Amino acid sequence: MTTAAAQDLAAPMQGTIVTVDVTTGQAVRAGQQVMLIESMKMHHAIEAHESGTIERILVAVGQTVMAGEAVASIAPGDVTVAEAVAEVAEDPDHVRPDLAETIARHEIGLDAARPDAVERRRKVGRRTARENVADLVDDGSFVEYGPVVIAAQRRRRALDDLIARTPADGMIGGVGTVNGDVFPQAAAQVVAVSYDYTVLAGTQGTQNHRKKDRLFEVAEQLQLPVVFFTEGGGGRPGDTDQTGVSGLDCLAFLYFAQLSGLVPLVGINAGYCFAGNAAILGCCDVVIATADSNIGMGGPAMIEGGGLGVFQPTEIGPMEVQRANGVVDIAVADEAEAVAVAKQYLSYFQGTLPTWTAPDQRLLRHAIPEDRKRSYDVRAVIDAMFDDGSVLELRRDFGLGMVTALVRVEGRPMGVLANNPNHLAGAIDSDGADKAARFLQLCDAFGLPVVTLVDTPGMMVGPEVEQTALVRHCTRLFVTGANISVPMVTIVLRKSYGLGAQAMMGGSTKAPLACVAWPTGEFGGMGLEGAVRLGYRNELEAIADPAEREATFQTMVDRMYEHGKALNAASHFEIDDVIDPADSRRWIATLLATAPQPRAHRGKKRPNIDTW
């Protein structure tokens, strides 16, 4: 081995000379490649350590050298650009063949490259999957997972055909931001996923199941909300490139169900959604569906295969059914409205808005009629009490005796649970209790404080309602309300009677952070009229004259009202105060000022959110 002198160029490592790029007498500049050496299957440049002229080349192609061994000798000296090989600057706009192939492959799956598929969507009045995702996420924020994946059908179809006709295996998914212009970047991130109905009818294939697994793992690790566009026909029987029998060992449903209670799950549907796609939709915390949706755990093929008859897809789970039975939380006209609502829904879990306005709170002083038997619109009360434009009602067409909505006070998100006196006078039935209990779970899971607005004569009664398992359903509201960890504030608008009122407060007037009433509030173990009729039955029956009997009855009711009215209840400190209705927001804002922001915790507060 020749020992390197000061002007000698040494091998930087042990290896084999692959090329010699200079000749004796050639001028070289510092940093110019003189030769290539291969070591561990990698090629490394040996560059001139100073400018000068090549005096000797000490190695040949194919020769193995040791680290530090001299490979050439350079006589130092000034070298002009004309004498040496000029350095070639890389053009940042140059697209190499490998990059060009990659770009082309990605472009195959874009809408611009699939005009026929886009036209099919236009004919049914819908947008493409990519258009929906692009509308949801902020511009330039989306990174897509698995865009060049194709259907697992290589054993039965040509590769070129699969690339052209099954882009992304019919499912687009990735990470982006939603409402990032309002909230910090981290708070605004979501996992967005959409089945693509133009690819094999949006069915669940082998590869898009694997993509779901991957995305759900990302959602779990980063604790990101998931928004899923679910249009599609369920499992796909035509994939060939896998082993196994039933496919029941796929992990997507397990992983998605495990996200319940950890991150907000939003399902959006337009068109047909059956079988496995419907299972994903049904696991979501909130289901947003367009007017043309049909949603069912079994589609036409499964129904016919079960020997149950032949049905058109439009006959299965139409919106008039799924709205009334509670499957759909928010009904919208089309996909554009669905995306807008999804953005609003997500915003409640992203933090406090920096700006807000509120209605004139004096209007609340006249929201409840002076006639205690006169009904009113509790939704108008909610609109007047909370920030302008902040009310998003869930499950409006189900459990009509309850109103559940996400709202804001001074920009801060929270949930509101209210009795609806326009349905059964606000009495709590099985559907209403289920609706309320699930809403409390949702708020609790993601750290939203709860405001309850009470106006109920109690639990609904009668032989008919008991057939709905009322005992179990109504007590569900007790066990849920008593065990939530988020702050609760209760405002009694009018009637606060019996077990129903206690259930609306988490079990007692002392359960919330505060239980206050408006001047119209009235309290008792049961409704006043019923209490008089039961407690004074013998006395009333002893009065022969009907007019005198009714007058006596009304006198007793008036006396009980004086005893049970809000001011008297407050004087016994059964409640915290009777307040000016215009002061309601001040109470709420003051008590909830130091409550943690939504989703401030890591991990789960609840094992899951009940799907029902």
Co-location of 147 and 226 in the same domain: yes
Indicate whether 214 belongs to any domain. Answer: yes
Residues spanned by the domain of 461 = 361-521+565-592
Q: What is the pLDDT of residues 233-254, one digit of tens each?
A: 888 888 888 777 777 888 899 9
On the question of pLDDT at 350 being above 70, the answer is yes
Burial of 296 (0-12, 13-18, 19+ CB in 10 A): buried
Residue-level pLDDT at 571 = 95
Give the residue with greater pLDDT, 219 vs 187.
219
Q: Are 192 and 176 in contact (CB under 8 A)?
A: yes
Taking 50 as the threshold, does the pLDDT of residue 332 lie above it? yes
Half-sphere exposure (Cβ direction) of 442: Cα atoms closer than 13 Å: 28
Please state, for a pLDDT cut of 90, what percent of the chain lies above it. 79
Same domain, 367 and 457: yes
Q: Which helix (H) or strand (E) holds 18?
A: strand 15-20
Q: How far apart are CA 241 and CA 110, in angstroms?
A: 25
How, if at all, do strands 488-497 and 412-419 pair? unpaired
> Does the pLDDT at position 493 exceed 70?
yes
| Residues in the chain, overall count | 612
Contact yes or no for 74/52 (Cβ under 8 A): yes
Distances (CA, A) of 284 to 288, 523, 590, 601: 10, 38, 33, 20
Q: What residues form DSSP beta bridges with 269? A: 289
Predicted confidence at residue 7, as pLDDT, reads: 77
What are the Cα distances from residue 21, in Å, to 70, 88, 288, 526, 589? 16, 15, 66, 99, 76
Q: How many domains does the chain have?
A: 4
Residues 6+ apart with CB under 8 A from 301: 233
Is 610 inside a domain boundary?
no
pLDDT given at position 599: 85
20: domain CATH number is 2.40.50.100
Does any domain span residue 477? Answer: yes
- Which residue matches tokens 């991957």? 214
Residues 485 and 574 occupy one common structural domain: yes
- In terms of DSSP bridges, do strands 8-10 and 70-76 run parallel, antiparallel, or are they unpaired? antiparallel
Please indicate, yes or no, whether residues 373 and 317 belong to a single structural domain of this protein.
no
Question: Do 491 and 552 fall into the same domain?
Answer: no
Please say if the pLDDT value at position 153 is more than 80.
yes
Instruction: Evaluate whether residue 356 is within a structural domain.
Output: no
pLDDT value at 543 more than 90: no
Same domain, 479 and 419: yes
Please indicate, yes or no, whether residues 127 and 256 belong to a single structural domain of this protein. Answer: yes
Torsion of CA 491, 493, 498, 500, to 10 degrees: -70
Q: Which residues contact 111 (CB under 8 A, 6 or more apart)?
A: 117, 118, 128, 130, 131
Q: Are residues 334 and 431 in the same domain?
A: no
Q: Give domain status of residue 2, yes or no.
A: no
Are residue 484 and residue 573 in the same domain, yes or no?
A: yes
CATH number reported for the structural domain that contains residue 473 in this entry: 3.90.226.10
pLDDT of residue 116: 95
Q: 50 and 174, same structural domain?
A: no
The string of pLDDT tens digits covering residues 592-606 is 998 888 888 889 999
Tokens of 494: 């009018």
Are 82 and 115 in contact by the 8 Å Cβ rule? The answer is: no
Query: Do residues 379 and 457 both lie within one domain?
Result: yes
**Using one digit for the tens of pLDDT, what is the confidence trace for 8-35?**
899 999 999 999 999 999 999 999 999 9
Per residue, what are the HEC states of 162-197? Answer: HHHHCHHHHEEEEEEECCCCCCCHHHHEEEEEEECC
Residue 92 resides in a domain: no
Of 72-81, 83-92, 477-486, 575-584, which gets the smallest average pLDDT?
Answer: 83-92
pLDDT number for residue 83: 65
Q: Domain boundary residue among 347, 369, 401?
A: 347
pLDDT above 60: residue 99: yes
Q: 3-class SS at 532?
A: helix
Whether residue 429 is found in the same domain as residue 283: no
Look at residue 31 and tell me if it is in a domain: yes
Residue 111 counted as domain residue: yes
Average pLDDT, the chain: 93
Structure confidence at residue 4 (pLDDT): 47
- How much is the pTM? 0.89
